[in-house]
Structure 1
Amino acid sequence: MFEDIAMTRCIAHQIAAALLIGTLALPASAQQAPPPPAAKVKVEMASLRQMAPVLQVPGSVMSRQDADVAAEVSGRVTWVAEAGTKLAAGEALARVDDRLLRLELRQYEAQIKSLQSQLAFQERELERQRQLAERGTATIVKLEEANSRRDVLAQDLIRAQASRDRTALEIERTVVKAPFAGQVAERMLEVGEFSAPGVKVARLVAVDQIEVRAQAPVSIARHLSEGISVSLDIEGQPTQGKVTRIIGIGEAQSRTFQVRVALPRGEANWIVGSAVKVGLPSATAEQVVAVHRDALVLRGDGTWLFRVNAQNKAERVAVKTGTSIGDWVQVTGDIRDGDRTIVRGAERLREGQEVELDPKVS
């Protein structure tokens, strides 16, 4: 029995040894795992760009047209547009009771007709006195009296017409009109309240004509000029705008001056009053190597990116970041102008992995 057990153990050892020898005899390529498939990626070229250090200053979205519209006539307010109402230029913003003015207009119109009738009669009387004077049957005094009465009536008619026109203008002004296209932000008078010339009725804001206004320190004034692009950030949404106005008058207490920035097309839906971070150049621009911000990978051990080499393989490159303008960030490290940096598809890449350029990757 013991001999059988010993024989079985001997056979098992021989089989294990044979398997080990067979494994060692396999080529190295058969023992290694197959390489991973080529990863589909999207690239952006690193490029030389003029960039300068940026100072972030607070700004606000403002409308270029923002007015407290006032009444021009006295009277009881009968209607005011609701807050939020959008109006075209010339549309009614509020109305004032015009009934007394219309009665006054009718009175002047009746007076004008009466004066026109009297003036027509006096014209005929003057002509009759002139004919009598030519025949010697009327005195020069009567002729001059008729002429004077005609002139007085003519002046009375002019005054009545002016009063009528003034009343008609006041009636027209009982409709407070929007001076520009905009949205009613606030009602300052309610129906039933009494208005007077100069009393504010409502606030109107042109919400489609907006810009960013920021207060910049006077120390960076020499680095700013109209037309340059600057970075904007509102609630984490980055974009770019152009400086349209530099109000070169500083405030003595804050040592700041106002900079106005136009928003790009398609950004007009920003809310007036929103807070904005404005990135303004604080030094002279220099030519630097910049990459798209999507190429950067930020980890605890530093910042790096993947570059595609001539063999279409991924190379991991450590970089340090600097100034940023829009989607482009200055980098220092082993990156040169024209290098292909991976902006999509780098999440699972390994050093040396083969890649395939795919513009559809997003």
Structure 2
Amino acid sequence: MPVPSRLLAASGVLALALALAGCGEDEVPEAVPSLTVSLAAPQLREVTSDVVASGAVAAWEEVSVGVELSGLRVATVAVEVGSVVAAGDVLLRVDDRTLASQLAQSDAQVREARTNLETARRKAARIRELADSQMVALQDAEEAEAARANAEARLNTAIASRDAARVQRDFTVVRAPVDGVVSARSVQPGQVVGAGTELLRLIRDGRLEWRAELAEGDLLRVDAGTPVRVEAPGGGVVEGRVRTVSPALDAQSRTGTVYVDLPDPGALRAGMFAQGRLALGRAQALLVPGDAVVRRDGRAFVFTVDDDGRVRERVVELGGAQGDLVEVRDGLAQDDRVVARGAGFLGDGDLVRVVEGEDAVDAADAASAKAARATGAVAE
């Protein structure tokens, strides 16, 4: 015959009352440690201090090339993207027939003005001789001198016009202003171009640089000349050195830029995004096991153990990894001891059992595995 549910509930309450009565009024159930852990002391070692950053590969200096004339048709383009050019090399030519004709006309005007000047000089000299002999009036000699001066002025004007026409004609040949590599071309033969329009772009000296963004604290540790290793596609490494450090930081992101020269960029190309490592030299650093660090909500923590066996959560600032160890820059002292294993299963204030000696690692590993299985069971 089934037992009524009301009777079962009453039996449960009675059993609970008997259990509490057996404990006595002053007895409190003993707290049970949630995990068995091992501790580790931070190690002070001399390490190679570095900063990992990401940034874009760019041209050290880009030169925009165009024409200074408008309405002329491009005759030939002598370079392609990737062409290596020297200063003065011809890049392109525009149709110069109109300007060549204007130059020829200016040359003729110069010759005419020079002939007129010679005639005016001889005439002025003869009239001056006659005036000195009082055979002609002095006014005639002065008029002849004025005509000679006007002829000389017209010759100077014609020469200036010819020089201007020659400069215009020379503009039809576009030459490389610097040594470099052609990185962009936006012109084709037959195209009618305008003054000021970019037709070609050069990377000056073919020189590339890596521009990395660093946080305020890291930026202050970088100086010009700092060695840098930039990761290239395919797993290669490109060596470089910091050329200069930005004197100002972005007001919003609180980051600054370092400019790294890449003398031999290898597989790197302008526009790529790459990761690099800036070597800041050797320094003393506080290291803890990597398993002791817990990362949550964008922050890093370690756990220390109080005398009463309860763990305390400590926020730390991390540096670079050194094998199985991690550098702690702030938030921990050398005489502190941290939970070396199982930290990921702890919360602030948890009671733990600390094991020492040869069996400490095995016990901590077993406890961590047990906690992981329990966590998985709860999740299920």
Match of 2:65 in 1: 69
Contact 2:67 2:196 in 1 (8 A): yes
Match of 1:57 in 2: 53
SS in 2 for 1:143: helix
Match of 1:25 in 2: none
Contact 1:93 1:178 in 2 (8 A): yes
The alpha-carbon deviation at position 149 of structure 1 amounts to: 1.0
Match of 1:238 in 2: 237
Q: How does 1:1-362 map to 2 (within 5 A)?
A: 51-54=48-51, 56-74=52-70, 75-80=72-77, 81-206=79-204, 208-235=206-233, 236-263=235-262, 266-280=264-278, 286-287=283-284, 323=320
TM-score with structure 1 setting the length: 0.62
Instruction: Kindly provide the amino acid, as one letter, of the partner of residue 259 in structure 1.
Output: V
Contact 1:232 1:278 in 2 (8 A): yes
1:157-215 Cα shifts (integer Å, max 9, x gaps)? 11111111111112111111112223322222222222232121112224731221112
The alpha-carbon deviation at position 221 of structure 1 amounts to: 2.4
Contact 1:115 1:157 in 2 (8 A): yes
Contact 1:67 1:204 in 2 (8 A): yes
Instruction: Kindly provide the amino acid, as one letter, of the partner of residue 57 in structure 2.
Output: V
Rounded to whole Å, the distance in 2 between the matches of 1:245 and 1:179 is 25
Rounded to whole Å, the distance in 1 between the matches of 2:146 and 2:59 is 60
Contact 2:73 2:190 in 1 (8 A): yes
Rounded to whole Å, the distance in 1 between the matches of 2:220 and 2:95 is 56
Rounded to whole Å, the distance in 2 between the matches of 1:221 and 1:158 is 61
SS in 1 for 2:135: coil
Contact 2:178 2:205 in 1 (8 A): no
The alpha-carbon deviation at position 288 of structure 1 amounts to: 6.8
Instruction: Kindly provide the amino acid, as one letter, of the partner of residue 146 in structure 2.
Output: S
Q: How many residues align?
A: 249
SS in 1 for 2:196: coil
Of the structure 1 ranges 87-96 and 183-192, higher mean CA displacement relative to structure 2 is found in 183-192
The alpha-carbon deviation at position 270 of structure 1 amounts to: 2.6
SS in 2 for 1:224: coil
1:271-327 Cα shifts (integer Å, max 9, x gaps)? 222222122479x951479xxxxxxxxxxxxxxxxxxxxxxxxxxxxxxxx847xxx
Rounded to whole Å, the distance in 2 between the matches of 1:174 and 1:242 is 41
Rounded to whole Å, the distance in 1 between the matches of 2:80 and 2:137 is 71
Rounded to whole Å, the distance in 1 between the matches of 2:192 and 2:203 is 24
RMSD: 2.9
Cα–Cα, structure 1 residues 50 and 144, in superposed 2: closer, same or farther, change >3 Å?
Answer: farther
Rounded to whole Å, the distance in 1 between the matches of 2:114 and 2:176 is 38
TM-score with structure 2 setting the length: 0.59
Rounded to whole Å, the distance in 2 between the matches of 1:76 and 1:254 is 48
The alpha-carbon deviation at position 88 of structure 1 amounts to: 2.1
Rounded to whole Å, the distance in 2 between the matches of 1:207 and 1:151 is 52
Contact 1:323 1:330 in 2 (8 A): no
Instruction: Kindly provide the amino acid, as one letter, of the partner of residue 213 in structure 1.
Output: R
Q: Which runs of 5+ in 1 are unaligned?
A: 1-47, 290-321, 334-362
Q: Which runs of 5+ in 2 are unaligned?
A: 1-44, 287-318, 327-380
Of the structure 1 ranges 77-86 and 145-154, higher mean CA displacement relative to structure 2 is found in 77-86
Contact 2:226 2:279 in 1 (8 A): no
Rounded to whole Å, the distance in 2 between the matches of 1:103 and 1:216 is 59
Rounded to whole Å, the distance in 2 between the matches of 1:332 and 1:256 is 27
Cα–Cα, structure 1 residues 243 and 82, in superposed 2: closer, same or farther, change >3 Å?
Answer: closer
Contact 1:209 1:268 in 2 (8 A): no
Rounded to whole Å, the distance in 2 between the matches of 1:89 and 1:269 is 25
Cα–Cα, structure 1 residues 108 and 207, in superposed 2: closer, same or farther, change >3 Å?
Answer: closer
Contact 1:288 1:330 in 2 (8 A): no
Contact 1:57 1:277 in 2 (8 A): yes
Instruction: Kindly provide the amino acid, as one letter, of the partner of residue 86 in structure 1.
Output: V
The alpha-carbon deviation at position 112 of structure 1 amounts to: 0.7
Cα–Cα, structure 1 residues 85 and 249, in superposed 2: closer, same or farther, change >3 Å?
Answer: same
Contact 1:208 1:268 in 2 (8 A): no
